Structure 1
Amino acid sequence: MKFHPPLQSGLLLQRYKRFLTDVQLDDGSTLTVHCANTGAMTGCADPGTRVWYSTSDNPKRKLPHSWEIAQSPRGHLICVNTARANQIAHELIEAGDIAPLAGYARLRREVKYGEEGSRIDLLLEDDRRPSCYVEVKSVTLLDAERDDGMGYFPDAVTIRGAKHLRELMAMKAAGHRAVLLFMVLHSGITKMSAASHIDPQYSLLLEQAIGAGVEILCYQPHVEITGFKPQGFIPFETVSRIIPKGSEISTE
């Protein structure tokens, strides 16, 4: 995935009202940019952070610019636009770059499913095997204090994320594949885990989902200012075990 037109850069002044950011451009002027990330954005949104933003030619948009990438003090690149996670996952799966999810005949996006009124991010279908329900989550939280590359999800309490885990468990119980695909969009993360210190209920529910046969995949594309390239998997650590890179884990 490439950014067209190329991203423009500036320094973050402030993020406010969740969806708005003020960016100081190199000529000293200030630009208000839309922020699609509703999370805490810990370590991504400190004033003075170097940021890159895209520009839309859609005349119906109130704010034509969107915050895409931040650079951490250590030089790591972080894609903060959570909408990109689904787009990148879609492209990688269609290209066959995420091997455990390759080879399905059809891929559909935002399909209604479940008993809690959800939409699955990606539905992979094939007449020869069970359908595969893929829920995509964007990972941008790095534990800078540990200095060991540990990333976490979520970065804030997520009621919606818990609902998605319940829906995935129900799909698995009904005989389908159910996959939680973490798209790791922080170049400094080398492994990840559930953020039990932020949302202990989500962490417990995730352990239950793994026990019920929901598969966990952590894929880290290469983040660049120009776009994203295929890269590879990183391991996921739970309280009880480490899930190897790219494995399709269930406990059945």
Structure 2
Amino acid sequence: MRILCLALLLCLLAGCASGPRIDSRYTAIGQNSRVQYIVLHYTSTNLSNSLRLLTEEEVSSHYLIGDTPAIIYRLVDENRRAWHAGESQWQGRTWLNASTIGIELVNRGYSDGPNGRQWQPFAPAQIEALVELLKDIMQRHQLAPGSILAHSDVAPQRKVDPGPLFPWKRLADAGLLPWPDAHAVAQQQAEFSQSLPTVAWFQQQLQRQGYLVPEHGELDEATRNVLAAFQMKYRPARYDGEPDAETAALLLVLGRPTR
């Protein structure tokens, strides 16, 4: 009798611990990762403050990369949502916290002074650590080149990080990001110098890239902010938000189908 009672008790405990019985022998081929993009940020402060803000406040990120030394900290499991993107949109998807991995880089961003805005450069070792992390994430989640975004890409009306000194070309050289061919850009720039497209054309091309941009054909502040975000990424020497021939050439070359 005692043995029977013990067996029944063990069965009850096993049932409570294991939950419903699930058959996992079959796997659907129609699936992919919930992660669609990776969003890059800078922290605007030092390492100790960055760790405190990203672990003790409402804002969070999946990863934080220090400057010196370039240690990679995992703060949120990739299977969980981190609160890093806020109100955001890319390629029609909104509120990107649910579909992105956020990576913060320890960097003070910028300071405004009598000589204008001064940006802090990124430590080379920090960028190398980032490249390795990005390669790993993109391989595991089977993300295509071009899935890496700036915070300023997905929220151009309110964010400028990771800023004009972030080396996007280094990521492109590592195969992580499409990059416009310089010769093709120069050819198109010469043509656009003769006749610049309309503001509506710029808005359409920016939308094709993935940006949320007005479509009314007017060069308003919102459109300038989106143009500046694009320029900051692909032409950081001048990101004034002006629709010029070089920006038009960059947009056109980037928008061409890849072979």
TM-score (norm 1): 0.30
Rg (Cα) greater in structure: 2
More helix by share: 2
**Higher relative contact order by CA 8 Å / sep ≥ 6: 1 or 2?**
2
- Could you say which structure has the higher strand fraction? 1
The alignment's TM-score, normalised by the length of structure 2, stands at 0.30
